[in-house]
Amino acid sequence: MLAYIFRVFVSMIGGLVFGSIGLSVGAWFGGNFASEFVFNGVRGYEATGQIGFILFALVGSIIGWQYMEKRKQPGK
């Protein structure tokens, strides 16, 4: 049970770290190239920053989960 809680914790931390990177990348992209893009009631760098955070947080959570799954298997 403790291993499962630790796996969830690592997955959340990975999601936050990757999400902050995605927010920065999305804001940079929206500010320079997609200034007319609209999402969730906002436009430009704010919209693409939100999308970057959502996508990268999801990817970071999956990577964190897979990393912890791989660590628990003996012999790898």
Can you give the pLDDT of all 76 residues of the chain as single tens digits? 888 898 899 999 999 999 999 999 999 999 999 889 999 999 999 999 999 999 999 999 999 999 888 776 665 5
The backbone torsions φ and ψ at residue 41, rounded to the nearest 5 degrees and listed phi first, read 80, 5
Q: Which residue's entry shows tokens 């969730």?
A: 40
Counting the structural domains of the chain, the total is 1
Q: Are 59 and 17 in contact (CB under 8 A)?
A: no
Report the b/e string of 47-71 with b at 16+ CB within 10 A. Answer: bbbbbbbbebbebbbebbbeebeee
**Host domain of residue 26:** 2-72
The reported pTM is 0.83
Q: Residue 70's pLDDT is what?
A: 78
